[in-house]
Structure 1
Amino acid sequence: MGTPEAGVLTEAFEAERRGLFAHAYRMLGAYHEAEDVVQDTYVRALRGWETFERRSSVRTWLYRITTNVCLTAIEGRGRRALASDVRPDDLGALVVEPFPTDPLDLVTARESVRLAFVAGLQHLAPRQRAVLLLREVLAFSAAETAAALDMSVPAVKSALQRARVRLAGAAPTRDDVLDATSPRARGLLARYMAAWEASDATAFREVLRADAAIEPVGSPTSYAGREACLAFATPAMGAAGDWRMVATGANAQPAAVAWFRGELFGVAVLTVTEGGIAAITLFGNPRAAEGFTAA
């Protein structure tokens, strides 16, 4: 595949790689699976390049491949969820993983990768999810979406309508969530990290809204309200210096990679508003911290 035409494919793929990665993440709710899907997309594109008839743009074709690889991956597995979204009969659900984001990355620094939105997407049937993302996030036309998913245009329109209704009931409203790059958001993140590093429960209390929530991902229990959050968190603070944190970005939200007594712990993703921290989503798994760098 060293031909000039193959070079066109490689150039197009590299230009779209980050967008394809974000799309696969939205479909799957899984960072590591999304990485595998992007690699699979390139392999499949190379194999199919000679028979690609240019009935669509290379970009559209690549997203079609990625979407269908995701649909295959979703088949036969449970949906991903966050702690507050786990029902008593759903304890085996896979968990949504955090997605590293750079404040300067225009592909992902937007509403479409916020944790609440990605978790809400997991409520949709796979093809509804694909239709909604292709139409409303990637701005594909109804005809392009129909071709990508081997559906009719009326079927695409019907699936989009159903997806919108279901997502509206599953995903929380944006409320007054701040952009991760705002001074207030950065300040709250800094104060959050300082409170934990100093084992200062009072300082931690001061950054929480009265209705704040802590959601340990993978646990069937979440904690709602400032006092409940403090009751859960204070015993885990340990002594000053037990925790070390580094600022980063996840899902276009402020986040901190955390170490406990020198061992990598995971990632805390904050939902921040002018009134303080509204939610803390805890990914207490070192694997969740893979791919993150300091902000």
Structure 2
Amino acid sequence: MTDPALLDRHRIELTAYCYRMLGSGFEAEDAVQETLVRAWRHRERYDESRATVRSWLYSIATNVCFDMLRSAQRRARAMDLGPAARPGTPLGAPLPEHTWLQPVPDDRVLREDGDPAEVAVGRETVRLAFVAALQLLPPRQRAVLILRDVLRWKADEVAALLETSTASVTSAVQRARATLGGAGLGEDPSSGPLDERQRALLDRYVTAFEAHDVHTLVALLHSDATMSMPPFAWWLSGRDDIAAVVTQSGQPCEHDRLLPVRANGGPAFGQYRDGVGFALVLLEPRGDRIAHTTTYLDAPRLFPFFGLPMSFPEPARTT
């Protein structure tokens, strides 16, 4: 193996794997970089008669993730940390970054030019809810479930990667599936590409948001919608409570602007206040309404990662 490009061509799928393992786009990129460095440094150890380059890289990436998870606490969403807040409840103190499941740009973890079924599974399995559920599993069970149920590796291939028995892999994946329960694959209709109705929904959301039309924004939510704002554990459940808080909050979002981007297999926006990057907003549509909004209040760190400018781009002047 003399060409590092042979290793780098696997970067996107390895980043997706490490993201599912670690729950952080930043950490996933660090893990993949370490994987590729280790692979190149020890390239003379690679034996093509025993494994493909791809499976060898996954073996290295798995060990890198295990190392990173050895002392890490589980990353979570706000709804995993406690009950929903009631209108009028203060935000409380922000929690450290390592508490939170972090978003990831689609172009770092998803290919759109493959088999449509594989593309759909890839998109579904980087959703915030699914990745949060994976964090409930011990690291080895997490790896087994991803390799078997997401990447569709055979049990003996996973056993070879983890240097264990096929029976052990089968047992681990059964326990993992039982733990995840309702977080199984193929159950969320929002995981597919946006249809015309949902694209129209997003257009209405942006128009209402930028016009500060609170009535329309609330009408676009499902009755059981949730709203959260990391790094605060505070979150809301239900359209009525969200409406009460948004209505009572005064005019903090008036004149804010939105710039579209893609995150975690779904629509997202850079939110700008007074022309400056303020937050990254992830929306999860379900049917013709919005089911979840997650607003990450860490623009200085997230915007460069997502390729978003820190200042809202003014339209080009024509002469």
Report the TM-score, using the length of structure 2 for normalisation. 0.82
Distance 1:109 1:161 in 2: 21
Q: Which residue of 1 aligns with 2:288?
A: 275
Q: Spell out the pairing of 1:47-126 with structure 2 (5 A cutoff).
A: 47-54=41-48, 55-87=50-82, 94-102=99-107, 105=112, 106=114, 110-126=123-139
Distance 1:29 1:66 in 2: 15
Question: Per-residue deviation at 1:217?
Answer: 2.6
Structure 1 SS opposite 2:153 = coil
Match of 1:24 among 18, 21, 27: 18
User: 1:270–1:281: 8 Å Cα contact kept in structure 2?
Assistant: yes
CA distance in 2, matches of 1:52, 1:147: 15
Task: Return the letter of the residue paired with 1:186.
Answer: R
* Contact preservation (8 Å) 1:24, 1:37: yes
Q: Which residue of 1 aligns with 2:306?
A: 292
Q: In 1, distance between residues paired with 2:265 and 2:70?
A: 28
Offset of residue 143 of structure 1: 1.6
Q: Percent of aligned pairs with the same residue?
A: 39
DSSP-derived class of the 1:81 partner: coil
Which one-letter code corresponds to 2:166 in the other structure? V
Q: In the TM superposition, what are the counterparts of 1:226-237 in structure 2 within 5 Å?
A: 226-234=239-247, 235=249, 237=251
Gaps of 5+ in 1: none
* Partner residue in 1 for 2:31: 37
Which one is further off, 261-270 or 91-100?
A: 91-100
Per-residue CA distance 1:143-165 (angstroms, 9 max, x = gap): 22112122221111111000011
| Deviation digits for residues 259-293 of structure 1 (CA, Å, limit 9, x no counterpart) | 12222122111111223001111212112333224
Tell me the CA shift for residue 64 of structure 1. Answer: 0.9
The DSSP-based 3-state class of the residue aligned with 2:262 is strand
Contact kept, 8 Å, 1:178 with 1:273, in 2: the verdict is no
| Cα 1:201–1:172 shift into 2, 3 Å | farther
What is the CA–CA distance in structure 2 between the aligned matches of 1:141 and 1:181, rounded to whole Å?
31
How far off its partner does 1:178 sit? 5.7
Shift of 1:233: 2.8
User: How far 1:142 moved relative to its partner?
Assistant: 1.3
Tell me: CA distance 1:53–1:173, structure 2 relative to 1, closer, same or farther (3 Å).
closer
Q: 1:178 to 1:113 in 2, by over 3 A?
A: closer
Relative distance call for 1:222 and 1:180 in structure 2 (3 A) is: farther
Counterpart in 2 of 1:6? 2
**Within-5 A mapping of 1:158-177:** 158-169=171-182, 174-177=187-190
Task: Using the TM superposition, give the Cα deviation of residue 185 of structure 1 relative to its aligned residue in structure 2, in angstroms.
Answer: 2.2
Q: Is the 8 A contact 1:185 1:254 kept in 2?
A: no
Question: What is the alpha-carbon distance in structure 1 between the residues aligned to residue 292 and residue 253 of structure 2?
Answer: 24
**SS of equivalent residue, structure 1 residue 140:** coil
- Paired with 2:57 and 2:149, the residues of 1 have a C-alpha distance of 17
- Output the aligned Cα RMSD: 2.3
Shift of 1:236: 6.2
| Contact 2:122/2:150, CA 8 A, preserved across alignment | no
TM superposition shift of 1:112? 1.1
Question: Would you say the 8 A contact 1:196–1:237 is kept in 2?
Answer: no
Amino acid at match of 2:42: G
Look up the equivalent residue of 1:60 and give its one-letter code: S
Which deviations, in whole Å up to 9, do the C-alpha atoms of 1:227-247 show, x marking residues without a partner? 211223342653641x11111
Matched AA of 2:34: D
Q: Which amino acid aligns with 1:64?
A: S
**CA drift at 1:166:** 0.5
How many angstroms apart in 1 are the aligned matches of 2:265 and 2:251?
26
Is the contact made by 1:29 and 1:118 (CA closer than 8 Å) also made in structure 2?
yes
Equivalents in 1 of 2:200, 2:251: separation in Å?
20
Q: 2:197 aligns with which of 164, 184, 187?
A: 184
